């Protein structure tokens, strides 16, 4: 297994190119707009009472269901702002459309129509986002109106139908606006817009985690200190090791050698060179994590609102820290690693293209045998990456149980936060490198003087 070289030098040159500088400014401005929206409260909510409730559950349950949603929304859920739902309804809709595309021939045909088909699928995804946002925001409104859910705290000032409709309208509009921001970043800025928005929300939690860590390690009496210096050192070592491992797995490749036969066309000779096919260890990247998180949140959210003992038991089992949650979460990550890899990597098409242009893998017959070999290798490479990602995702639970620290602190020594932030940052820097390389070639062409014969 080989790894790609990783270079931070593009960061020093990105502001020297006007077009790239403009894209970076647009990206920063759109993310700033998103962060401002995370502080605009939903009408009719007692923000102080809601914050007090989340403070209580953070001390007792740490990784409760709504605490996880709060982390992904950058604190918007804790304040019940207009962006409280975050981007999760859009991700859930995307998952549903991708699953339906794989099983419904009509959708599969639309998806293969190129750019026009891609736009149709995106439009269906937007419609699904609206439906899911309406359903989730309605149940959130019902949840907010019940003081029993908040240990007797009154969160809604004037409960009733008017509050429910206003909450549905506000939260649904907020989610659609976030989706629009992500698309604008994708089109006019740098990086994957949806992933950057999620990353911005996670990074915004770092000051709160640092503050909580400071409170846990700095009481006046060392005998009552909740986190000992040895624990802090262990967490720092884990943080460095996890970041290093995530970078290595994210950049890791299995290079399959490919040889092209020589072909003589007229007076020219084509082929004869050697190259390789890079099979990434973690093809899905952060997509599998986001998909798994979205899937495990949606049914648990619905179950927590249904007054049935069985559904309540299911909701309690799907809270972070429980064995059922860890097992289901890990299995979902492994499934989506394979699912996304199967979507983006088609060994049969790759084998046919190699055969068409005279390429072959040494020791493997062209055609069907090559496709089977590529599928064999990719299946095992993906298994290694999926198991690693699943382990890192549930690693904070092990830290919480071992070191007895809050989830907000443990999440920055591993887990979903690290996986998403590191993966998105690597992808963004790669896109910066691509823009710099394109600019370099463009400048090279413009700088040359090409004159035709007279």
pLDDT of 61 higher than 70: no
pLDDT band at residue 450 under the 50/70/90 scheme: very low
For residues 404 and 391, what is the distance between their CA atoms, to the nearest angstrom?
19
Residue 175, pLDDT score: 92
The packing angle between helices 18-37 and 193-203, to 10°, is: 60
Confidence grade of residue 394 (pLDDT, cut at 50, 70, 90): confident
Q: What is the pLDDT of residue 306?
A: 66
Strands (E), 114-172: none
The top-scoring range by mean pLDDT among 47-61, 199-213, 235-249, 276-290 is: 235-249
Q: Whole-prediction pTM value?
A: 0.75
Please report the pLDDT score of residue 392 as a whole number: 86
3-state secondary structure of 280: strand
- Please, are residues 296 and 318 in contact by the beta-carbon 8 Å criterion? yes
In 3D, which of 298, 296, 291 has the Cα closest to residue 132? 298
- Which range, of 142-156, 303-317, 346-360, 435-449, averages the lowest pLDDT? 435-449
Tokens describing residue 155: 């969160």
Decide: 138 and 164 in contact? Cβ < 8 Å. Answer: yes
**pLDDT in the model for residue 302:** 65
Residue 88 · residue 174 · CB < 8 Å: no
| Long-range own/partner contacts, residues 157-166 (CB < 8 A, 24 or more apart) | 157/44, 157/45, 157/46, 158/44, 163/44, 164/138, 166/42, 166/43, 166/44
What's the mean pLDDT in 106-133? 86
- Report pLDDT for 322: 75
CA–CA distance, 227 with 107 (Å, rounded to integer):
54
CA distances, 104 to each of 89, 107, 121, 149, 340 (Å): 22, 6, 13, 41, 17
- Give the whole-angstrom CA distance, residue 88 versus residue 58: 21
Predicted confidence (pLDDT) at residue 412 exceeds the cutoff of 60: yes
* Mean pLDDT of the region 395-399: 82
φ/ψ of residue 275, rounded to 5: -145, -165
pLDDT given at position 181: 92
Could you give the CA distance from residue 38 to residue 76 in angstroms, rounded to a whole number?
A: 5
* pLDDT of res. 223: 46
Q: How confident is the model at residue 206, as a pLDDT?
A: 79
- Write down the pLDDT at residue 272: 61
SS3 252: strand
CA distances from 154 to 84, 144, 161 (A): 19, 8, 17
Is there a contact between 414 and 242 (Cβ–Cβ < 8 Å)? Answer: yes
Percentage of the residues of the chain whose pLDDT score is greater than 70? 78
Confidence bin at 271 (pLDDT 50/70/90): low
Question: What's residue 453's pLDDT?
Answer: 41
Q: Are 69 and 297 in contact (CB under 8 A)?
A: yes
Q: What is the per-residue pLDDT for 130?
A: 93
| pLDDT in the model for residue 63 | 43
Report the distance separating Cα 319 and Cα 69, nearest Å. 11
The domain spans of the chain are: 2-445
Q: Which residue has the higher pLDDT, 58 or 16?
A: 16
Instruction: Say what percent of the chain tops pLDDT 90.
Output: 10
Please report the pLDDT score of residue 408 as a whole number: 65
Write out the H or E segment, with its range, that includes residue 379: helix 368-403
The pLDDT mean for the chain works out to 78
pLDDT at 26 over 60: yes
| 105 vs 55, higher pLDDT | 105
Separation CA 396–CA 62 (nearest Å): 11
- The pLDDT tens digits for 160-203 are 888 899 999 999 999 999 999 998 998 888 888 888 888 888 88
Residue 105, phi then psi, degrees to nearest 5 = -60, -35
Rounded Cα–Cα distance for residues 114 and 103 (Å): 19
- Domain 2-445: give its CATH superfamily: SecY subunit domain (1.10.3370.10)
- Return d(Cα 3, Cα 86) in angstroms, integer: 34
The pLDDT value given to residue 169: 94
Q: What value does the mean pLDDT take over residues 331-347?
A: 86
- Statement: residue 41 has pLDDT above 60: yes
Average pLDDT over residues 276-287: 82
What does the pLDDT read at residue 38? 86
Residue 184 has what pLDDT? 92
**Residue 10's pLDDT band (boundaries 50, 70, 90)?**
low
């Amino acid at each position: 297994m080989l790894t790609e070289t990783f270079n931070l030098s593009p960061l020093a040159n990105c502001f020297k190119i006007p077009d790239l500088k403009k894209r970076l400014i647009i990206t920063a401005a759109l993310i700033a707009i998103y962060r401002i929206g995370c502080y605009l409260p939903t009408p009719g909510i007692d923000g102080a009472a809601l914050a007090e409730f989340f403070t209580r559950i953070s001390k007792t349950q740490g990784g409760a269901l709504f605490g996880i949603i709060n982390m992904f929304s950058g604190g918007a859920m804790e304040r019940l702002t207009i962006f409280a739902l975050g981007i999760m309804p859009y991700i859930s809709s995307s998952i549903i459309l991708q699953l339906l595309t794989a099983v419904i021939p009509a959708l599969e045909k639309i998806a293969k129509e190129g750019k026009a088909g891609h736009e149709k699928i995106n439009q269906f995804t937007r419609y699904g986002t609206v439906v899911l946002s309406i359903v989730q925001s309605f149940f959130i409104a019902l949840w907010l109106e019940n003081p029993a859910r908040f240990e007797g705290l009154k969160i809604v000032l004037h409960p009733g139908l008017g509050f429910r409709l206003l909450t549905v309208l506000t939260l649904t509009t907020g989610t659609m606006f976030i989706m629009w921001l992500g698309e604008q970043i994708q089109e006019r800025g740098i990086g994957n817009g949806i992933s950057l928005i999620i990353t911005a929300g996670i990074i915004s939690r770092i000051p709160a985690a640092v503050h909580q860590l400071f409170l846990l390690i700095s009481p006046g009496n060392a005998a009552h200190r909740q986190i000992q210096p040895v624990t802090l050192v262990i967490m720092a070592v884990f943080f460095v090791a996890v970041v290093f491992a995530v970078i290595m797995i994210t950049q890791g490749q299995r290079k399959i050698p490919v040889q092209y036969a020589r072909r003589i066309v007229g007076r020219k000779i084509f082929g004869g060179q050697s190259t390789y096919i890079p099979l990434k260890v973690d093809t899905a990247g952060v997509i599998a994590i986001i998909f798994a998180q979205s899937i495990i949140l949606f049914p648990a959210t619905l179950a927590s609102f249904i007054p049935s003992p069985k559904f309540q038991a299911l909701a309690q089992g799907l809270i972070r820290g429980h064995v059922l949650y860890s097992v289901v979460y890990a299995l979902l990550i492994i499934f989506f690693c394979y699912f996304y890899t199967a979507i983006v990597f088609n060994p049969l098409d790759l084998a046919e293209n190699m055969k068409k242009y005279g390429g072959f893998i040494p020791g493997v017959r062209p055609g069907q045998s090559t496709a089977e070999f590529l599928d064999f290798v990719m299946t095992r490479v993906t298994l290694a990456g999926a198991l690693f990602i699943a382990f890192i995702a549930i690693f904070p639970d092990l830290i919480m149980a071992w070191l007895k620290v809050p989830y907000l602190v443990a999440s920055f020594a591993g887990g979903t936060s690290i996986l998403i932030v590191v993966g998105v940052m690597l992808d963004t820097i790669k896109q910066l490198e691509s823009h710099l390389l394109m600019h370099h070639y463009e400048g090279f062409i413009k700088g040359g003087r090409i004159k035709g014969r007279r």
